Structure formats: structure tokens, C-alpha cells
């Protein structure tokens, strides 16, 4: 959820936050021997007077936006750190009171205001990769589809294509892959393919997410309070 994205459309003025110092903005102009230059993509220094005005303006605006973006990214990182610290403080109280952790070892837990209008959810997601058995599973699945021919349902073929993302070599659609595992097909090769898929799954770690929700009244739907600027 804590992703950064372009903050403002081109031409939008950036306002200072009251009480907060503006971030330092680097200049694209360097001085050498009293003369002013701008560096191009190849690292060569060009006299400023030879750089078109629109390119100078673009350089200036990008540097200004990036300065604010990096500052905001650092604020979000600090906010995330403080959020988990505060929630861990609540967790300590539950640990002392019950001798255990709220939500158990998985850590998936929802904190809520007394009036039921605000929530903070902490979720733990497993990081999954796939071993070489997955390639054997794909071979067995392809054999099934070829032999079944016209008898194989179009939706199964479509699902297999989505799983293995045939337009992007080497990419796996994990959500669709687990849908594939839920299909009940008795063909021996299909059964072996599903076993190969399960054997290929490797949990390489976990990632912790925190999400925020709010609603106007208890009968209203929850609305996400986004920290993802791409969705704001």
C-alpha cells in the first residue's frame, strides 16, 4: 500500500505545508570557470545558452517535483514505522492481559474505534516463488489439452493461458494458478500436473501490510483511506 507515484499533473503549483520546511531542490545547472552548463544524458556539459528554454523548464520542474516526491516518500516511510510502533504498543497490552498476541502468529488483525467507524488492518502476505516442477506441470497440462482437443472446455484453455501468461514469457498469474488447482479433473496427467504445481510452491518470506478504512455510519460500506498515491 505504501507506493509512490507522480503527485501532481504538469503545470500544477506545489504549495508549502505550513510549519514544514520545503525540501532542497537540486539544480541542473553547474558552474565551471564562471560559465554555466547543463549535463546531457551522455554526461557532456552543454552551455546553458545552447539548451532550449523548454528543456530547461522541463528539467527545473522535474527536479522540483522529485524533491517533493522524495520528501513525501520519506514521510510515508516514517508514518508506516510510527504506525506499527503504535500498534505494537496496543499488542503489548493484549499480550500482558491475555498472555498471547491478538491475531495469533499470522498477525492478521483489525483494530477499530469504539464507534465502529474507523479501522486499521494489519495483514501478513506470504511471498511465493515457484520451483522447476512448475515447468513439468505446464508440459503435462499442454499434453492434456492437445489430447482433449475440441472436447476441452474453452474456459479451461483460457484459464491455462492466463495462468502462464503466454504473452509474457516466464510470468505466472498466481491468483489464476490457485483457481487452476481447484478444478476437479480426473485425468491422471492432470492430477500429476496439479501435484507438480503444489510441489513447486515455495514460501520465501512474508510481507506486512497496513490498510486504513472509514465509513460515515455503521450501515455504510467501508471506504479505504489510501496512502497509495496512484489510487488517491
Q: Are residues 96 and 116 in the same domain?
A: no
Tell me which of 102, 127, 142 is where a domain ends: 102
Q: Are residues 218 and 160 in the same domain?
A: yes
Q: Are residues 120 and 135 in the same domain?
A: yes
Cell of 149: 482437443
- Residue 8: per-residue pLDDT: 36
- Residue 101: per-residue pLDDT: 60
Q: Are residues 178 and 232 in the same domain?
A: yes
Which are the contacts of 221, defined by CB distance < 8 A and separation ≥ 6? Answer: 215
- Residue 149: per-residue pLDDT: 79
Q: Are residues 213 and 161 in the same domain?
A: yes
Residues of the chain where predicted confidence (pLDDT) is lower than 70: 1-20, 101-107, 150-152, 166-170, 228-232
CA distance 163 to 158: 9
Q: Are residues 95 and 117 in the same domain?
A: no
How many distinct structural domains can be found in the chain? 2
Q: Are residues 232 and 132 in the same domain?
A: yes
Which are the contacts of 63, defined by CB distance < 8 A and separation ≥ 6? Answer: 25, 26, 27, 28
Q: Are residues 65 and 77 in the same domain?
A: yes
Q: Are residues 34 and 74 in the same domain?
A: yes
Tell me which of 102, 134, 162 is where a domain ends: 102
Domain holding 138, by residue range, is 105-232
Closest by CA to 12, choosing from 74, 52, 64, is 64
Tell me which of 102, 119, 143 is where a domain ends: 102
Q: Are residues 56 and 77 in the same domain?
A: yes
pLDDT tens sequence across 70-116:
998 899 889 989 998 999 898 888 888 887 765 555 568 899 999 99
Taking the CA atoms of 141, 142, 147 and 153 in sequence, report the sign of the dihedral they define: positive
Q: Are residues 79 and 4 in the same domain?
A: yes
Which are the contacts of 232, defined by CB distance < 8 A and separation ≥ 6? Answer: 226
CB 32 within 8 A of CB 46: no
Q: Are residues 162 and 55 in the same domain?
A: no
Amino acid at each position: 500500500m505504501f507506493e509512490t507515484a507522480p503527485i501532481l499533473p504538469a503545470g500544477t503549483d506545489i504549495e508549502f505545508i505550513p510549519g514544514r520546511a520545503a525540501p532542497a531542490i537540486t539544480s541542473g545547472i553547474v558552474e565551471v570557470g564562471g560559465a554555466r552548463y547543463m549535463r546531457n544524458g551522455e554526461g557532456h556539459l552543454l552551455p546553458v545558452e545552447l539548451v532550449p528554454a523548454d528543456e530547461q523548464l522541463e528539467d527545473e520542474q522535474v527536479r522540483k517535483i522529485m524533491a517533493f516526491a522524495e520528501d513525501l516518500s520519506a514521510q510515508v516511510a516514517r508514518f508506516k514505522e510510527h504506525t506499527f510502533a503504535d500498534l505494537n504498543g496496543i499488542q503489548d497490552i493484549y499480550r500482558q492481559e491475555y498472555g498471547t498476541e491478538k491475531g495469533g502468529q499470522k498477525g492478521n488483525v483489525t483494530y477499530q474505534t469504539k464507534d465502529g467507524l474507523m479501522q486499521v488492518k494489519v495483514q501478513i502476505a506470504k511471498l511465493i516463488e515457484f520451483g522447476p516442477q512448475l515447468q513439468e506441470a505446464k508440459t503435462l497440462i499442454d499434453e492434456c489439452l492437445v489430447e482433449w482437443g475440441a472436447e476441452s472446455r474453452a474456459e479451461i484453455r483460457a484459464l491455462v493461458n492466463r495462468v502462464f501468461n503466454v504473452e509474457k514469457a516466464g510470468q505466472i498469474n498466481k491468483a489464476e494458478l490457485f483457481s487452476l488447482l481447484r478444478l476437479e479433473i480426473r485425468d491422471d496427467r492432470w492430477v500429476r500436473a496439479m501435484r507438480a504445481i503444489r510441489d513447486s510452491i515455495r514460501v520465501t518470506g512474508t510481507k506486512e501490510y497496513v490498510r486504513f478504512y472509514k465509513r460515515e455510519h455503521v450501515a455504510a460500506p467501508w471506504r479505504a483511506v489510501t496512502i497509495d498515491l496512484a489510487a488517491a
